[in-house]
Amino acid sequence: MVSLKLTKQQGLRAVAIAATVFFICTLTLTLHRHFTFYSSYDQGIFNQVFWNGTQGNFFQSTLSSQLSTNIVHGGEVPNVSYHRLGQHFTPALLLWLPIYYLFPHPATLTVFQVTFVTAAGLVLYALARVYLEPAIAFLISLSFYGANAIVGPTLSNFHDISQIPLFMFSLLLAMEKRWWWLFWLLAICILAVREDSGIALFGVGVYLVASRRYPRIGLMVCSLSFLYIVALTNLIMPLFSDDISKRFMLERFGQYAEGNEASTLDILWGMLTNPKLLIIELFTPFSETIRYFLGQWLPLAFVPIFAPASWVIAGFPLLKLLVGQGKSVLAISIRYAMNITPGLFYGAILWWAGQGFRNFHRPLEDCQPRKLKPKFRNFWVFCICLSLIFTITSNPSRTLYFLIPDSIQPRVYVSLPEQWQRVPQIRSILKQIPDDASVSATTYLIPHLSGRREIIRLSALEFRSDRDRIETVEYIVADLWRLQRYQTAFKFDRRHLAAIAEMIDTVTSQGSYGITDFNNGIILLQKGVDSNPSAMQGWQEFRSLLS
């Protein structure tokens, strides 16, 4: 149990132990997830983006191209020179490119992500110590390491939002220390993370104005954030592609727009002119919204409910989620939840420092810090443990697939020995694909092959090359065993398996591809060669089981 009284040294030691445990556990689980072929498409996208960056082709990706409106809606083929900046504007990734250059592997991104989040918890402790005694500061950091909204996204594929907690806590610490040069540098870094990260920064600006702490700086932060988002999404990103207006805005906020495309300004205008729809979206689905709030508040023992700074800072990125549509917006175990946490935790720090709704405008130096009582400490620790239990049982990103079945009825479960037995089988087939060859692969094989210029997802076979010609891939590789195992519970896997099997039959019968290897449901085809007789026989036996 956490002591009510910790010395400065004891507090530092305690938070260092918590950070070490978090780092080791999350890194072990995420690396295990990757090396047992459970990392998926987004890991491949970011790895290809980084790999292309080391070749001088910054932010280009055929895998991102496959998600673009030109392919999804226009029926074009993926393009190797497609710039991902038209989908998500992420120049902050360049900060880590020199390290990736030294260690060019998709697992490097996993190490990045765990390091970002672990470091964020340490900066949070330093931020809490500005106002609070070591025991409370430690519990706040422990809450961070136990939050579903932090652990879940950390255990997933690499994503750009994993930088946000570190940058936001560092910015708030710089503000408290009045290191304004660092404050503005971090503000630029936050804006560079992603096109919508300015919304979280906007919340900081509103807090600085509303609390009257630094109103001029707050106005500057609000103006910078708003103008950046508007200029970026309406002027700069459309230079790369039409995805922001023809796909992403409509998929997330299409209920506020008319027609086949909409800019951020169109969406904002649609919200302002349709307040009834806006209010409905804010509170529905009601049960899921309440559950999301409770999940975000739980690790902090529900303190953010009573913390005005939490509502002000976290309110704007939270508003973005609530007014959007789609199943992922209120999923606390995926990356979008990380945008909410910095405001909630900073607000909790200020609440413990004595700030509340009644004295929101009073200087913090004049507030009376709250005392941590034994009963509340015990309740707080219980809430952290409960948050961890909910995180584990949710099996975020299937990271704990070897402990928790993916489906109960019908039962779908892959044991640890079973999957590790398959790992060398998969690797032996992937090694047969040259590093510079073009390839089309199933989702969970993509990350391991994504360090190349030409790669797409099955069942697509064509891409536009650097020669500006439409070409077919040289190799096709698929993990059919996985699709067969999961098809009983998941319709997408069942449809995908049927489509790939039909495609294999077609290309082999036409003689355009030959099956060169088949091992336990993993198949490799090469363009323009004859099929290996034993590999073909293995495929035909497996194919008969699918009929």
**DSSP annotation of 79:** B
Q: Which tens digits make up the pLDDT trace of 325-350?
A: 777 778 898 899 999 999 999 999 99
- Give yes or no for a contact between 27 and 154, defined as CB atoms under 8 angstroms apart: no
Q: Is 54 exposed, middle or buried (0-12, 13-18, 19+ CB in 10 A)?
A: middle
Q: Which two tokens stand for residue 327?
A: 């199943």
pLDDT band at 267 (very low <50, low <70, confident <90, very high): confident
- Cβ count within 10 A of residue 5: 9
Write down the pLDDT at residue 115: 98
Q: Which tens digits make up the pLDDT trace of 454-485?
A: 999 998 999 999 999 999 999 999 999 999 99
Mean pLDDT rounded to a whole number for the chain? 93
Task: Tell me how far apart the alpha carbons of residues 201 and 226 are, in angstroms, rounded to a whole number.
Answer: 9
Q: Which tens digits make up the pLDDT trace of 140-152?
A: 999 999 999 999 9
Task: Tell me how far apart the alpha carbons of residues 188 and 181 are, in angstroms, rounded to a whole number.
Answer: 11
| In 129-163, alpha helices (H) | 134-146, 148-154
Write down the pLDDT at residue 1: 60
Q: Is 473 exposed, middle or buried (0-12, 13-18, 19+ CB in 10 A)?
A: buried
Task: Tell me how far apart the alpha carbons of residues 151 and 299 are, in angstroms, rounded to a whole number.
Answer: 11
Instruction: Show Cβ contacts of residue 139 under 8 Å, excluding neighbours closer than 6 positions.
Output: 2, 372, 377, 380, 381, 384
Q: Which tens digits make up the pLDDT trace of 439-458?
A: 999 999 999 999 999 999 99
Residue 48 confidence (pLDDT) above 90: yes
Paired with 441 in beta bridges are: 457, 477
Instruction: State the pTM of this model.
Output: 0.95
Q: Where are the domains of the chain?
A: 8-38+83-398, 416-434+474-546
Q: Which of 50, 325, 55 is nearest to 63 (CA)?
A: 50
Average pLDDT over residues 404-412: 88
Average pLDDT over residues 185-193: 97
